[in-house]
Structure 1
């Protein structure tokens, strides 16, 4: 799977070998916005069109394009991991919240570094 970006929107892209097409779907939103194409150039165009249509449709309906992230996250983890993270945060002189944010930022930046802007 590959990720691409355009106008601040991201999409997951996969190749469907059976149909010999690329398929994609906007990521990070609850609305379902998909696109497909049979070549890389056509895929880029279809992705741009999907994003532009999404933004235009939101404008026509008076709805802001989705930004579903509130800055709050609830995760359930093994108590031993929780204790270890709390200790690491304390040793670093940080709150667990700040320490966790920094670790998540590092992981997210590392894992999204390969996103292609088209």
Structure 2
């Protein structure tokens, strides 16, 4: 079972509140709060799609570009020794640090 869904390039979470008896979620990876809910899977998906469409229409009406999630760039904080070891491994593989980390991360999630 997947706990996310995707629409127009936006990824939304899927959660369930036993107390309220509803499914709910929010669009992940952007600063704007876009939330949605439904009493069943179909209504959750419909509300997610509607919330994304509303957000895109609002941005267009305000003349601003909508935020894009997961632009392919992120910063991480690691220990200096870990950084050093990554550079050593990347160099040994004749790769840049960026290439080495990208390839390693891709292998981890595939």
Structure 2 match to 1:84:
85
1:69 Cα offset (Å):
5.5
Q: Measured at CA, do residues 70 and 15 of structure 1 come closer, stay the same or move farther in structure 2, by a change above 3 Å?
A: closer
Q: Tell me whether 1:51 sits opposite 2:52 in the alignment.
A: yes
TM-score, normalised with respect to structure 2: 0.86
Distance 1:51 1:78 in 2: 38
Distance 2:96 2:41 in 1: 46
Q: Measured at CA, do residues 44 and 69 of structure 1 come closer, stay the same or move farther in structure 2, by a change above 3 Å?
A: closer
Q: Measured at CA, do residues 68 and 25 of structure 1 come closer, stay the same or move farther in structure 2, by a change above 3 Å?
A: closer
Q: Which structure would you say has the larger RCO, counting Cα contacts within 8 Å and 6 or more residues apart? A: 1
Structure 2 match to 1:114:
none
Q: Which residues of structure 1 form unaligned runs of 5+?
A: 111-118
Q: Kindly tell me the number of residue pairs found equivalent between the two proteins.
A: 109
Q: Measured at CA, do residues 18 and 57 of structure 1 come closer, stay the same or move farther in structure 2, by a change above 3 Å?
A: same
Q: Does the 8 A contact of 2:10 with 2:69 survive in 1? A: no
Structure 1 match to 2:20:
19
Distance 2:71 2:97 in 1: 19
Structure 2 match to 1:62:
63
Structure 2 match to 1:113:
none
1:68 Cα offset (Å):
5.9
SS at match of 1:15: strand
TM-score, normalised with respect to structure 1: 0.81
1:73 Cα offset (Å):
3.1
